[in-house]
Amino acid sequence: MGLNSQIENPKTMRTIVFITAAMIGFSASSCIKVVRQGEVGVKRTLGKLKPKELPSGSYLINPFLTRVIKVPVRTINLPVTLESLPSREGLNVQAEFSVLFHIRPESAVKIVETLGVDEGEEVIRNVLRSAAANVTARHDAKDLHTAQRDEIGRDIAKIMTELLGDRGLVVEAILLKSIRLPDGLYQSIEQKMQAEQEAQRMEYVLQKERKEAERKIIEAQGINTAQKIINENLNEILIRYKGIEAMRELSKSQNSKVIITNGNMPFIMQDEE
């Protein structure tokens, strides 16, 4: 069977078409590079980096001469655990951080040239270790377990920004996720917090008692003032007049009674049936 007869074989023809299509597809995919959103591309041709970053989009390249390195410029959440951070009192503290950072798009070529994409995270870890030790050494261990952790995170981010300088790595935030204090220190912190809460409760009770004492003083002063007004306005003539009015009303009653009076106030003795 000759070559022509083999080509005319339908099975052989399908194989040739499949291989040809695969080669064309492979060649096309190798020539077209896609840079997605949240990335920029850095073109390297014959080992030399092009100075201009490639924004998101599709690019036609020569796969034998050129390579497109994709650099993420979105926010990266990098978890870091530091085993022994010094505190002001000389204790070692274990802490878990989340470092939020990103690469400046205009610094992508510089990052690839000086650090490499993967090495950027290692630089962040090393800078965090130095900055965190610098900050925690100025605080007591208990401060890492209280509301001051937000302030500590901001101080660490500030120092990291200074250390990184213009490398193109931007620290957005340092989140202090968890703290492991030395054994026994947790109990001391809890006891102190309970004592502070008890002191605050007692202060509230004392303030309440002071307010109640002030209220009673004001109430007594009001009663005293009212009695003075009454005593000043009730004279002898008014008292006698009220007594006469009372006897007049008693005289109108049909019940049998004996009224004894000194002329001012009546005293009633009523017969019991």
Same domain, 112 and 162: yes
What is the per-residue pLDDT across 136-184, written as a single tens digit (0 to 9) for each? 898 887 777 776 788 889 999 999 999 998 888 999 999 988 888 766 6
Same domain, 165 and 192: no
CATH number at residue 132: 3.30.479.30
> Where among 182, 200, 223 does a domain terminate?
182
109 pLDDT more than 80:
yes
If we measure between CA atoms, which residue out of 152, 143, 155 comes closest to residue 181?
A: 143
State residue 7's pLDDT score.
Answer: 47
Same domain, 52 and 125: no
Number of domains in the chain: 4
Lowest average pLDDT, out of 103-117, 162-176, 215-229, goes to 215-229
DSSP 181: P
Query: Rounded CA gap, 132 and 116, in Å?
Result: 24
What is the per-residue pLDDT across 133-142, written as a single tens digit (0 to 9) for each? 999 898 887 7
Average pLDDT taken over every residue of the chain: 78
State residue 67's pLDDT score.
Answer: 87
State residue 81's pLDDT score.
Answer: 92
Residues in the chain: 273
State residue 173's pLDDT score.
Answer: 93
State residue 59's pLDDT score.
Answer: 86
If we measure between CA atoms, which residue out of 152, 142, 147, 144 comes closest to residue 189?
A: 142
Same domain, 251 and 265: yes
Same domain, 89 and 151: yes
Same domain, 178 and 86: yes
Domain range for residue 58? 3-72
Instruction: Specify the 3-state DSSP secondary structure of 43.
Output: strand
107 pLDDT more than 60:
yes
Query: Rounded CA gap, 194 and 146, in Å?
Result: 14
DSSP 246: H
If we measure between CA atoms, which residue out of 112, 120, 108 comes closest to residue 76?
A: 120
